[in-house]
Amino acid sequence: MPMSLAASEYRAPWWLPGGHLQPIVPAELFPKAKVIYRREIWNTPDDDIIAVDWSTPEPIDPKAPIMVHIHGLEGSSNSHYARAVSYTHLTLPKNR
C-alpha cells in the first residue's frame, strides 16, 4: 500500500529546509552529467516541430532498449535532472 505524503518519513537537510531551494541547489551547484545528444527535428502537419534528442550507449548495442524521457513543457534535455536520468540509464550494467 502506498505511503501518503502526510505520513512520509522524509526530512529535508537542516541546511536546506524549504521546498523552493531544494530543486535549485542541485541545478546550480553541482555539475551536469556529461551526455552527448544527437538532435532530430520532426515537422508536424500543423507546421510545428518536435525536437527529439537521442543518446546512445557505448559500445552501441542494437538490442538495447529505448528509454523515453518526457521532460515537460518547461524542461529540456539539457536540464540537470534530464541529464542525470539519461546518464544513469546509459551507464547501467547490461544485465540489470
Q: Using one digit for the tens of pLDDT, what is the confidence trace for 21-51?
A: 888 888 888 888 888 899 999 999 999 999 9
Q: What is the pTM of this model?
A: 0.65
CA-CA-CA-CA dihedral for 10, 91, 66, 48, to nearest 10: 80
pLDDT at 44: 96
pLDDT at 30: 85
pLDDT at 94: 64
CA distance 79 to 37: 13
pLDDT in tens, 65-82: 888 888 777 778 888 888
Average pLDDT over residues 9-15: 84
